Structure 1
Amino acid sequence: MHLRTQDDAVARLQYPADSSYRTPHGLTVHSWKHPEPTGAPVLLVHGFASNTLFNWVKTGWLDPVAGTGRSIVSVDLPGHGASAEVDPSGLRLADILNDLQQTAETAGGRVHLHGYSMGSRISWEFAHQHPQLVGSLVMGGSPVSDDVYQVAPAQARSWARGGPEPADEATRRFITVAAALPGQNLPHVVELRLALAQDPYRPEETVPAVPTLVVAGAQDSIAAGAARLAQLVRAAGAAAEFVEIPGRNHINVLTAREYKQTVLNFLAG
């Protein structure tokens, strides 16, 4: 695990990662290997229009997770971050899940999975299909349906490529969020979300049978009702907990110390 030190302070992880590789469908996998791991690695899956750098590194997640004695694996989804040049047109959720399976198996065959926002929706499906690869699941800022992503595809694609502003208000908000981070390949970011929208998100039909922690900011409208996900897991016979972070929204909850500590406690348990 490649570390840097500053004035004899606690060693911290560097970005870019120790190593990275590209999967068949265009995920870039970043890996930080712990020199003396004491548990299964943590696999991180970022949210819509984000990436490893902005979702996990700049918000301060790497060092606390590494401090648990675990290796860290994080993916940049097609069209995002280090995979910005990958055109997601034609991809389906199954393609992403297949590459995540390869990623988990390469990391050692069993991971603790932590998805955020759109990444949590992907992680939910993955844990349902591959429970043998998932030691535990963290669902952060998770929507409970596709309602928050309902847009006009033709208007979204057009504006992302420099066309006219969408007449549809939801689509206008969608593209504005997609363009928020610097250096975005906006057409590719939008295309991934439209590709994934071809497979409806109905969490009650794909409940994972693994220990699950659901976390949401109290002011996060995208994750409104996320407590229901924990209820679904418990009803299916697995342990599950819902934790709400006071005063936090969909963006700033990622920096919350309480969120991080809740996840660290969950991993320790």
Structure 2
Amino acid sequence: MPTFQSDGLTLNYEIVGEGPPVLCIHGFASSGQVNWVDVGWVETLVGAGYSAITLDNRGHGKSDKPHDPERYHPQDMARDAVALLDHLDLKQAAVLGYSMGARIAAFMAFEHEERVACVIFGGMGMNLINGLSDGNDIIAGLRAPSLEALTHPTARQFRIFADHTKSDREALAACMETSRAPMARADVRRINVPALVAVGETDAMAGPPEPLAKLMPQGEAFVIPKRDHMRATGDKAFKAAGLAFLSRTFPSNSHS
């Protein structure tokens, strides 16, 4: 798999398809493969005439995994995404993020607006601003000697997921300490690119999509019916809403 350098780290990425680029930024404890390829997003984007760029965030997948929490601020991870665009000689891309990836995409759209054609925040509503309440439980769960003793439901969920993806749990614990930094409400108001906020109907982790969308000058909300945080990622309705949004804001040749 191809790699690029950012901030002294070697990070992994993949590109599939031809056409306008969509940079896909995965969620916590996931990877480009698990978050975007396995659930059919890459196939969907390529089928609609886009090129899908997936990267493994620092601490994840096949990328370098520092154990220092200071290496996981969302601003730094947003710079990784920009470094990948630089590496590929792309002036601009649509950005699709899920959960932590949506938080990274938000910092990218705020601090590097000229690089972001439009942005989709999947699995991230008002908790972009309010923060994540379960973070410390998730960290404890990742560091627990075994799954058996874990009772906190979210901590159990992420521990099972981290073991399933064969993750470096210490790197993930470091990442969770700093990557969940909330974004200031005033900064969200200044994200002035077309933005779709898509959250599962029963997603308690993300917070509601509508109030977040309302804060942004070009924000719109979509509720993914009957889905929670873990099961909304590859949902058909989410994909359809995402493609409809992209066709309006960043059309591919097959849409024009």
Is 1:121 matched up with 2:106? no
Map of 2:192 onto structure 1: 209
Map of 1:133 onto structure 2: 115
| Superposition pairs of residues 199-238 of structure 1, within 5 angstroms | 199-207=181-189, 208-234=191-217
CA distance in 2 between partners of 1:251 and 1:217 (Å): 9
Map of 1:176 onto structure 2: 156
Partner amino acid, structure 2, of 1:46 = H
Map of 1:62 onto structure 2: 42
Map of 2:31 onto structure 1: 51
| Cα deviation, residue 166, structure 1 | 8.7
1:185 is aligned, of 143, 159, 168, to 168
* TM-score, normalised via structure 2 length: 0.82
| Cα deviation, residue 120, structure 1 | 0.6
Partner amino acid, structure 2, of 1:148 = L
How many residue pairs end up in the alignment?
240
Structure number with bigger Rg: 1
- Contact 1:79–1:188 (8 Å) recurs in 2: yes
| Cα deviation, residue 209, structure 1 | 0.4
CA distance in 1 between partners of 2:185 and 2:86 (Å): 24
Map of 2:234 onto structure 1: 255
* TM-score, normalised via structure 1 length: 0.78
Map of 1:98 onto structure 2: 79
Q: Which ranges in structure 1 are unaligned for 5 or more consecutive residues?
A: 1-16
Name the % identity. 23
- Contact 2:188–2:215 (8 Å) recurs in 1: no
Partner amino acid, structure 2, of 1:75 = L
Q: Deviations over 1:99-138 (max 9, x none)?
A: 2221123331101001101111111111011111000000
Map of 1:240 onto structure 2: 219
CA distance in 2 between partners of 1:162 and 1:149 (Å): 23
Describe the shift of the 1:215–1:34 C-alpha distance in structure 2 as closer, same or farther (beyond 3 A).
same
Q: Which ranges in structure 2 are unaligned for 5 or more consecutive residues?
A: 249-256
CA distance in 2 between partners of 1:200 and 1:111 (Å): 24
Map of 1:148 onto structure 2: 132
- Contact 2:31–2:61 (8 Å) recurs in 1: yes
Q: Deviations over 1:180-229 (max 9, x none)?
A: 221121111111010224x4333443331000111111111112322112
Q: CA RMSD in A?
A: 2.7
